Amino acid sequence: MTSLVIAEHDNKVLKDATAKTVAAATQLGAPVHVLVAGENTGAVAEAASKLAGVEKVLLADDPIYARMVAEPMEALILGLAANYDAILAPATTNGKNYMPRVAAKLDVPQISEILAVESPDTFRRPIYAGNAIQTVQAPAGKKIITVRTTGFKAAEGTGSASVEKIASAGDTGISKFVAEELSKSGRPELTSAKIIISGGRGMQSGDNFHLLDKIADKLHAAVGASRAAVDAGFVPNDYQVGQTGKVVAPELYIAVGISGAIQHLAGMKDSKVIAAINKDEEAPIFQVADFGLVADLFKAIPEFEAELTRLGY
């Protein structure tokens, strides 16, 4: 039969997480359809139709889906479930929110945050904050899966699927979206940035994050933070990298004033290159860093910036 991928988007742009989830879905070996649920999301459906491996895009255009509120998403996906063997969503805060509802209603277990597909019914997923990797086999029946997108390479934009409009499943009337307060930075998003520079408790204040901003601007990097920095109120929650925040795997991760608690390492240790600046040479972050600099960050960061300027950034 067929696999269905639920698209992640902001109604205007299809998120990279979708292309990675499609890549995971194609590994199941069955044809792949994508569901785009949102408001005025024609452009998103168009982008989804170009992903390699996608056979058909289903477009449910209704304001009720604009913020992917869990209850209407559940109703919509359940209405389609009979046609699919597997339903996959990226393990974003949206996917994590609506998918278990679908699994429960279908009376099947959900397989959360898969990192790899070993066979169409066997998957690898992290447990204990990534300190162990579990290989699990799903029973016969429908598979409900969320995908840790750092485990998969995005499907390329070489496809040409058809787009079919489908009916909305309507409002359930038990929940409603009120407001959203999104961080605006003009920088790449953490989960898709090629370079990330993150600050920890060592930054000492939110104002000091401007030191990282300057480097981020030079390198077109995203700015992240450890839980300690978010808890201290230096930066908003959406900066958090770690097991319970965002899991990232950029080409380069620069950890500044971050000691490297296991929960933080779980969120970034799959980065290709890790650089760390910390004044404590015993900091666990150095055990995973390719390049470590034991130094006072308030001296090192301006020097690092000056060297970047000299190198032409």
The reply to whether 135 sits near another protein by the rule CB under 8 A is yes
Residue closer to another protein, measured from CB, 4 or 17: 17
> Any idea of the CA torsion for 70, 71, 75, 78, to the nearest 10 degrees?
50
The reply to whether 286 sits near another protein by the rule CB under 8 A is yes
Binding mask 156-185 for another protein (x = CB under 8 A): ----------------xxxxxxxxxxxx--
Binding mask 80-119 for another protein (x = CB under 8 A): ------------xxx-xxxxxxxxxx-xxxxxxx------
Size of site (CB under 8 A) for another protein? 96
The closest of 183, 223, 220, 221 to 200, measured between CA atoms, is: 223
Residue closer to another protein, measured from CB, 87 or 108: 108
Residue closer to another protein, measured from CB, 54 or 268: 268
Q: How is residue 276 written in tokens?
A: 């760390």
Footprint on residues 239-268 left by another protein (CB under 8 A): 243-244, 246, 251-252, 262-263
Residues 6, 210: Cα–Cα separation, whole Å: 37
Query: Cβ(248)–Cβ(192) under 8 Å?
Result: no
> For the residues of 77-88, what is the DSSP string, one character each?
HHHHGGG-SEEE
Backbone torsion region of residue 130, taken as left when φ is above 0, otherwise alpha when ψ lies between -120 and 50, otherwise beta: left
The piece of 21-29, 34-42, 163-171, 282-290 that touches another protein (CB under 8 A) is 282-290
Query: How, if at all, do strands 32-38 and 54-61 pair?
Result: parallel
Cα–Cα distances in angstroms (integers) from residue 114 to residues 105, 163, 210, 237, in the given order: 21, 28, 35, 24
Per CB under 8 A, the list member of 6, 48, 275, 283 interacting with another protein is 275
| Shortest reach from residue 227's CB to another protein, in Å | 7
| Shortest reach from residue 55's CB to another protein, in Å | 28
| Shortest reach from residue 176's CB to another protein, in Å | 5
The piece of 25-33, 43-51, 129-137, 153-161 that touches another protein (CB under 8 A) is 129-137
Query: Cβ(95)–Cβ(89) under 8 Å?
Result: yes
| Shortest reach from residue 225's CB to another protein, in Å | 13
Burial class (CB in 10 A: 0-12, 13-18, 19+), 260: buried
Footprint on residues 183-222 left by another protein (CB under 8 A): 183, 191, 195, 219
